[in-house]
Amino acid sequence: MVIAELPRSHADALGPLLELRHVRPEVVVDQNWLTTTSYATLLMNMTLSQACWYEPTLGRQGFISIAKLRNDALAWPDFMIRAKRAAQNAGFSDDYAGKLAAAIGEFYSNVIEHSQNLNSGYIVFCAKNRMFEFVVADAGIGVLNSLRSNPRFANLGDSGRALELALSEGVTRHTDPDRGNGFRPLFVGLANISRFIRFRSDDHSRELIRADDGTITALTRQVSKLSGFFCSVLCEAVGSTYP
C-alpha cells in the first residue's frame, strides 16, 4: 500500500478507524489523506499514553489498556462508571447503559482468558447522539489458535469457521463444560440496541447486522491478516430522546 496514493477519506465511525490502526498503524498516523476530526485527540492519546485517557470536558470518549487494568484495582470500576455515564448522556436508558458496560466487561474477560498477550490489549469507547461504540482488541494468539487448545477443535484449520464457532452456543476453548461460554452470552444484553458487531481475527471477519425489524444478517468474509483479535460494536439508543 502506498499511502500517497490513498484517496481522501473522513473517519466518521470509531470501529473502522481503530481497525485500520490495529492492522496498519503507520497508515493512520499519516494525516494528509485521512481526516479524523472527531477522534484526533483520542488517537493522539492512545499513541502517546500506555495507560488510559478520558475526554476531560464531556467524557464522551475514553480508552484504557489491559496492562493498566491489571495493575490498578481501581481502574476497572472507574472505566465502567465513565462508560456507563457516557452512554446515558448520549441518550441510553440507565438499564441499557448498564448492559453496555456489562457487555464491555464480558469482552474484556474474554481477552484476559484467551489472548496470551494481555499487555497488548485495549478497550475504547465513544458516545454521541443516541449512539455508543466500543472496541476491544489485542495482539494475542487469535480465535483460531485459542480454540485449537481444546482437543475437540485441534484440527480446525480455518479462522472464519473459528469465528463462527466462537459465536455459537456453548463453544469455548475449555474442555470443562462448566467453564466459559464463548462470546454468545454477550448478545443477550445487546439484543435490542446493537446495530453492528464486527469480529476480526487472523484472516477472517464476522459481521452481525441488525435491521429495524430485529432480524440479524451474519456474514463471514476473508480479509487481510490481523494480529490477534479485534471487535467493534455499534449500538443505538431505543425508547429515549437525546437531550
Q: What is the pTM of this model?
A: 0.88
Predicted confidence band of residue 48 (pLDDT cuts 50, 70, 90): confident
Looking at CATH, the fold of the domain delimited by 7-236 is given as Heat Shock Protein 90 (3.30.565)
Helices and strands, counts by H and E, the chain? 9, 8
Q: What is the pLDDT of residues 179-236, one digit of tens each?
A: 455 555 566 668 778 999 999 999 999 999 988 888 889 999 999 999 999 999 999 9
**Where do the domains of the chain lie?**
7-236
pLDDT at position 183 is: 59
Give the lowest-confidence range in 110-114, 125-129, 132-136. 110-114
Tally Cβ neighbours within 10 Å of residue 164. 17
Q: Give, in order, the Cα–Cα distances in Å from 220 to each of 93, 199, 228.
A: 32, 9, 17
Predicted confidence band of residue 174 (pLDDT cuts 50, 70, 90): very low
Q: Give, in order, the Cα–Cα distances in Å from 170 to each of 19, 117, 123, 135, 241.
A: 27, 24, 25, 23, 37
Give yes or no for a contact between 53 and 46, defined as CB atoms under 8 angstroms apart. Answer: yes
